[in-house]
Amino acid sequence: MNIPLTMFLVFIAITLGITYWASKRSAGASAYFAASRQIKGWQNGIAVAGDYMSAASFLGIAGIIAFQGYDGFLFSVGWLVAYLTVLLVIAEPLRNAGKYTMADVLAYRLKPRPVRGMASLSTLTVSTFYMIAQMVGAGTLVKLLLGGMVTYNQAVIGVGLLMIVYVVFGGMLATTWVQIIKAILLMSGTFLLSILVMAHFHFSFSQFFAAIGQVTYHDAKGAVVVKDFLTPGLRYKPPYGPLDLISLGLALIFGTAGLPHILVRFYTVPDAKTARHSVVWAMVLIGSFYIMTTFLGFGAATIVGPDFIKGHGGTNMSAPLLAQALAGNIFFAFISAIAFATILAVVAGLTISATTSFSHDFWTNVIHKGVERKPGEEVMVARISAFVVGAVAIGLAIVLQTANVAFLVALAFAVAASANLPVIVLSIFWRRFNTAGAVTGLAVGLLASIGLILISPSLMGIDPPTVVGAARHIFQAKAIFPLENPGILSIPLGFMGAIIGTLVSSEPSSQEKFNELLVRSNTGLGAEKATAH
């Protein structure tokens, strides 16, 4: 029996058991959308970590460090430091003033229908982009990890069906526990792998870093190259590299606090203080994990080597191949199962945030003006939309099988930073802010991010005819915008859109209600309480 497959099946069996357990506790909107707000601080912290550390950060980051050294480690830094924005600025006001989505906070003092409509559109855009990237990755990876036992399409359909089952039947409670289990697995796997890497170097940091100082591989022309992988600049080269690095930093620092699937997690705890503690728990786990990417990435570069990885599945396989090199096939299977769990937990989180926004913001509040026509309608609509979201994600992942979709993650962060974050921040802190400002801010942030990515080197570039498939640029022309990450331009544009939209219009009621939002968000007066099962 194939060992990776067995481990996949064990994980699936456990999570389905949890879903069955959760399904009996998911009656009612607060239970379904927010796990009755009874998740403990440390549990939510682990779940945030599980929701956040995607395949891009586990497999992707190990791969980038394995091939481009130090510059890859800069992603790791940004992914943790970003949580200070969440902690200092967003988590507590959101928990105090909102109910299920980020739009709840905006709708307090602004006109609910236009604001919720736009916020929902932005949420669905971020979630869909992010999900397509995850699903395409999932298809390729599961196929590779199972050694050809399933096809790409079967893998995508399997992942899609599982995420639908978790979300439709188990709601937020099942999603939370899938994320908790995944985070624990990921942390232990990464820790074990790090120990094994150090054991390989006889627990001597000087030997480890000496090896990093002379990574040997063949370049594109077949010549042997020896490089110090701890030197900056292997990925971000002049003239635009440094600017791209800053732009990436901006998107991470301001985008994380605008990611809908992270924000909804703060509604699952009883109060703002617990939300705060859960961010700290998440920071401890996420930080420890990203420090350990040193061992994963540089370990793969030194022990396995870029040449071997290139010939055995490519950059994303760096971490699993490292496991195989250090401890054989069973450990390879274990790390593969963790990668699989990672993908499932993240897509489940994305699905539930997308469906919550669709049913709560769009269906109930925009179309039906805040009235649930019959009890349980909101939850029912969410369950139906989870099917639709899942089906669309499966379909797009199959269509985009050979497309280069890595830029979609950057795009999701850029939209979150340029559209969502400005309006959340201005709505909490700026008395003058109004509906027109929120709608233009969201629209400008969304369009600027998408527009700039479309004309960036991620999509535009001239390839020689030998380049085919996913590596080939979609538009065969010189890139108009020189940076891969649009944040440095799109974030200021999002803020400007929101500010100018506000200044050219007048809405006295939004200013009058500012005091209410200010008091609610800062004291927790009247905040949503936990509900009994």
Partner 1 sequence: MANAARNLEIAQPKQYQASQSTWDKIAESKEFQDLMATKKMFIVPAFIFFVVYYFALPVLVGYAPAFMSIKIGFVNLAYLFALSQFFVAWIIAGLYVRAANNFDRLAKDILDKAEDAKGGK
Binding site for partner 1 (CB under 8 A): 70-71, 73-74, 76-78, 80-81, 83-85, 87-89, 99, 104, 107-108, 111-113, 205-206, 209-210, 230-233, 236, 241-243, 245-246, 248-249, 253, 273, 276-277, 279-280, 283-284, 287, 290-291, 365, 369-372, 509, 512-513, 515-516, 518-519, 522-529
The torsion of the CA quartet 9, 14, 16, 18, rounded to 10 degrees, works out to -170
Q: ω before 93 within 30° of 0 (cis)? A: no
**Minimum distance from residue 230 beta carbon to partner 1 (Å):** 5
The secondary structure of 23-52, three-state, reads HCCCCCHHHHHHHHHCCCHHHHHHHHHHHH
Q: Pick the closer one to partner 1 by CB: 231 or 329.
A: 231
Q: Pick the closer one to partner 1 by CB: 89 or 327.
A: 89
Residue 279 in tokens: 């961010």
Q: Pick the closer one to partner 1 by CB: 292 or 347.
A: 292
The torsion of the CA quartet 443, 445, 448, 452, rounded to 10 degrees, works out to -140
Dist. CA 75–CA 314, nearest whole Å:
19
**Minimum distance from residue 360 beta carbon to partner 1 (Å):** 9
**Minimum distance from residue 107 beta carbon to partner 1 (Å):** 7
Q: Pick the closer one to partner 1 by CB: 84 or 403.
A: 84
Q: Pick the closer one to partner 1 by CB: 103 or 452.
A: 103
Q: Pick the closer one to partner 1 by CB: 74 or 326.
A: 74
Residue 468's φ and ψ, nearest 5 degrees, are: -130, 170
**Minimum distance from residue 277 beta carbon to partner 1 (Å):** 7
**Minimum distance from residue 337 beta carbon to partner 1 (Å):** 27
Q: Pick the closer one to partner 1 by CB: 113 or 312.
A: 113
**Minimum distance from residue 253 beta carbon to partner 1 (Å):** 7
**Minimum distance from residue 352 beta carbon to partner 1 (Å):** 19
Which residue in 510, 513, 500 sits closest to 441, CA to CA?
Answer: 500
Yes or no: say if 509 and 17 are a contact pair by the CB < 8 Å rule: no
Q: How distant is the alpha carbon of residue 113 from its chain centre?
A: 27
Residue 350 in tokens: 């994305």
Q: In this structure, which amino acid lies at residue 259?
A: L
Residues 6 or more apart whose CB falls under 8 angstroms from that of 533 comprise 25, 31, 36, 38
Dist. CA 512–CA 325, nearest whole Å:
64
Residue 339 in tokens: 């990668």
Which residue in 84, 89, 93 sits closest to 523, CA to CA?
Answer: 93
Q: Pick the closer one to partner 1 by CB: 290 or 340.
A: 290
